[in-house]
Amino acid sequence: MPTILLVEDEASIADTLIYALQSEGYSTHWLTLAGEALAYQQTTPADLLILDVGLPDMTGFEACKQLRRFSEVPVIFLTARNAEIDRVVGLEIGADDYVTKPFSPREVAARVKAILKRMQPRAVLPAALAPAVFAVDAERFQIHYHGQLLSLTRHEFRLLHTLLAQPQRVFSREQLLDAAGVPAEAGYERNIDSHIKSLRAKLRQVLATAEPIQTHRGLGYSIKAD
């Protein structure tokens, strides 16, 4: 039974969400402060966090930044702010979804279900399909580049894993969004560019002269086979 950690300081909102989540068979734990949630997640990891942006002790954005230092657990933001820049910032710092108030508790529960389904392990990449300079361990979510282990976020691993599965194939941003675990209909194609930029920086730390990830303007990205 997946466990959902809800971090929300308004009891009325928390009550409706807890009821909707438990009706779907999820175990829930409710906290009102971000600091408490960060400490709890380190000792008793939940399978997904629902995190309010406007918490009393720190913003949900800051809490997510601290969370990403030790965990890649999926995060859904709850917020009364619905400006595009807030949604983009939330996703760029590591959230998986962004729900604006007022919302339907059943819709939030459905989003939780969709994210956890996308997080299920995918097929292992056959070693013969990966370029020789890369070594992929799909079970451990690890990729080595020229013998060095890359420090990848969950989204970065899924993106690179997808590119390596079919070297030289051009993947659209929508296809890479899906690979990263973000539904294409969410319309956050620009976040793929940010993830690719971060991936390139990590690859250059290993070999500064190489540029395995290729940009195809107006189309998407591919990776060289050698």
Same domain, 14 and 75: yes
Domain enclosing residue 72, as ranges: 3-118
Rounded distance, CA 105 to CA 111, Å? 10
Percentage with pLDDT > 70 across the chain: 84
Rounded to a whole number, what is the distance in angstroms from the first to the last CA of the chain?
A: 43
- Could you tell me the maximum CA-CA distance found in the chain, to the nearest angstrom? 56
Sheet of 142-145: strands edge to edge?
134-137, 142-145, 148-149
Same domain, 154 and 205: yes
At 31 the pLDDT is 96
Span 60-90, pLDDT tens digits? 999 998 998 888 888 999 987 765 556 666 6
6-26 burial, b at 16+ Cβ within 10 Å, e below that, comes to bbbeeeebbebbbebbeeeeb
Per-residue tokens: 64 = 């997510």
Listed residue (71, 16, 25) closest to 48, CA to CA: 71
Please state, in angstroms and as integers, the Cα–Cα distance from residue 42 to each residue in 36, 39, 93, following that order. Answer: 10, 5, 19
DSSP 144-184: EETTEE----HHHHHHHHHHHHSTTPPBPHHHHHHHHT--G
Total domain count, the chain = 2
Same domain, 66 and 159: no
Which residue among 118, 150, 180 closes a domain?
118
Lowest mean pLDDT among 63-72, 132-141, 182-191: 182-191
Q: What is the mean pLDDT of the chain?
A: 84
Residue 12: pLDDT above 90?
Answer: yes
At 87 the pLDDT is 64
At 16 the pLDDT is 95
Which residue among 93, 118, 143 closes a domain?
118
Same domain, 105 and 85: yes
Which residue among 83, 118, 153 closes a domain?
118
Instruction: Let me know: does 93 contact 66? Beta carbons within 8 Å.
Output: no
Same domain, 185 and 218: yes
At 128 the pLDDT is 43
Same domain, 173 and 102: no
Lowest mean pLDDT among 18-27, 110-119, 129-138, 180-189: 180-189
Same domain, 109 and 133: no
Rounded distance, CA 7 to CA 29, Å? 9
Same domain, 110 and 18: yes
Same domain, 142 and 96: no
